[in-house]
Amino acid sequence: MNSYVILISGRGSNMQALLEARLPGQCVAVISNRPEAAGLAWAASRGVPTRVVDHRQYPSREAFDTALAEAIERVGGELVLLAGFMRILTPDFVAHFAGRLINIHPSLLPAFPGLHTHEAALAAGVRVHGCTVHFVTPALDCGPIIIQAAVPVLAGDTPDALAARVLRQEHIIYPQAARAVLEGRCRLVDGRVVWDDDATSADLALRVPA
């Protein structure tokens, strides 16, 4: 793949990490469903084209997703990277970009899908938490896993403290996963993640920081 689009809804810290990683190919646009998203100004200041497809301007989720897909196609985006994009995508949208749609989620999936993952992890008393990069499928936060990173849950942790520790790992593993897919070393085949090099897969599959 030679081009990618990043979708955001807010400040886009993972977008920043992706762009600063100087991934292969070209970021042809950063697109937000919110015109007030702070990440748009950051991307524009780095010379990255930006677009807004405001979900509030469409009568249904299906109509919005159709407009979003058209915007991605117009700029020539091959790989679509969700970076804090706070919309549940329709099955038709996901099917259209199957194998080319990636998300990062702040938990060790399949544990704690959905929102408020850090609060849920603390409430459950888990000793290890983390983040996951995965291909997107119609089932929410259930797509095939590319890379994960684990962090310890410390005594006295708050949701904010745990979130900050996890976010540091998100900024590391998301560019790694995106690079692998853009370079063709990792892809989705028959619903499974396939790597060209099993050794590389083993090295990247789980990051456990010291």
Candidates 165, 105, 99, 164; CA nearest to 132 is 105
CA distance 109 to 143: 9
How far is the CA of 200 from the CAs of 118, 122, 195, in angstroms?
A: 29, 32, 8
CB-side neighbour CA atoms (13 Å) of 68: 33
Termini Cα distance of the chain: 33
Which residues are the active-site residues? 105
